[in-house]
Amino acid sequence: MNREAARVDVLIPTCGRPAALAATLATLIGQTHREFGVVVSDQSDGDASFDSGEARSIVRLLEARGHAVRLLRNLPRRGLAQQRQFLLEQARAPQVLFIDDDVLLEPDLIARMLAALRDSGAGFVGSAVIGLSYRDDERPHQQAVEFWDGPVEPEEVRPGTPAWQRHLLHNAANLWHVQRRLCPPGTPSRLYKVAWTGGCVMYDTARLREVGGFGFWQELPAEHCGEDVLAQLRVMARWGGCGLMPSGAYHQELPTTVPVRDADAPYLLTASQRAA
């Protein structure tokens, strides 16, 4: 893969989380894949999260190591879908990696996600975030998994269908327990079927844009959730999508910045590409 094809833009929406953002940015420093830039879009009411001394020092180190970093403000707040669309509009690379501002990445994760995306031909690859405070909480009834043993294929997944229940695997530390049994360290990564993946998802940029990206934000109230779910369902319906095991992404387990969750995008808007 040439350098241009290997480029990734890491897109990070943030709001009022300076310490968490600094920790997230710090896990980008040691990534084994080197061809990436970073765009941070802040919607804090006061000072931007990236204006903390900790975050600025990490940004300087990323820049010193050759990574372009853009720090942007996106106000007034018009919901997470608009925030993600704003970030997508800044992207210049063939691949975009959306990560939340409270996610920690293992050093080889970007490399593994990029290889999985390119090799599978899927529209996205997700690395589900694991909450390690639950690592002693075994939930066998939520640990069903279906692997892609052949090519990743398009799927129509909708709320209420049997495939929708796949999301249970991503609760708590279920994935941690499953991958320790079925994909232990030293074995090749495996791809599995998902309903959606939250917090850490790499897309083929052109394919995400082709289904409209997050342009549906104008059809949603400002306070909503599930915008990432809806975008993934639309990409999956046309090109397929998958989860990556082992994950390599960990949640900082902070309180949500979206406490009002009545307006859930995949329930309010059709997930089919025809509606995009």
Domain contains 198: yes
Domain contains 182: yes
Domain contains 145: yes
Q: Half-sphere exposure of residue 181, counting CA atoms within 13 Å on the CB side?
A: 9
Domain contains 183: yes
- State pLDDT tens for residues 192-206: 999 999 999 999 999
Backbone phi, psi, residue 189, to 5°: -65, 150
Which strand ranges, in their side-by-side order, compose the sheet holding 103-105? 103-105, 249-251, 129-130
Mean predicted confidence (pLDDT) in 148-159: 94
Number of domains the chain contains: 1
pLDDT for residue 186: 87
pLDDT for residue 56: 97
- State pLDDT tens for residues 58-79: 999 999 999 999 999 999 999 9
Domain contains 3: no
In the predicted structure, residue 34 carries a pLDDT above the cut 60: yes
Question: How does the average pLDDT of the chain come out, rounded?
Answer: 94
In the predicted structure, residue 274 carries a pLDDT above the cut 60: no
pLDDT for residue 270: 63
Helix, strand counts (H, E) of the chain: 8, 11
pLDDT for residue 183: 95
Domain with 149, as residue range(s), is 8-275
Domain contains 2: no
Helices 53-64 + 18-29 axis angle, to 10:
20
CATH number of the CATH domain containing 93: 3.90.550.10
Percent of the chain whose pLDDT exceeds 70: 97
In b/e form, how buried is each residue of 31-42, taking b as 16+ CB within 10 angstroms? bebebbbbbbbb
**pTM passes above 0.85:** yes
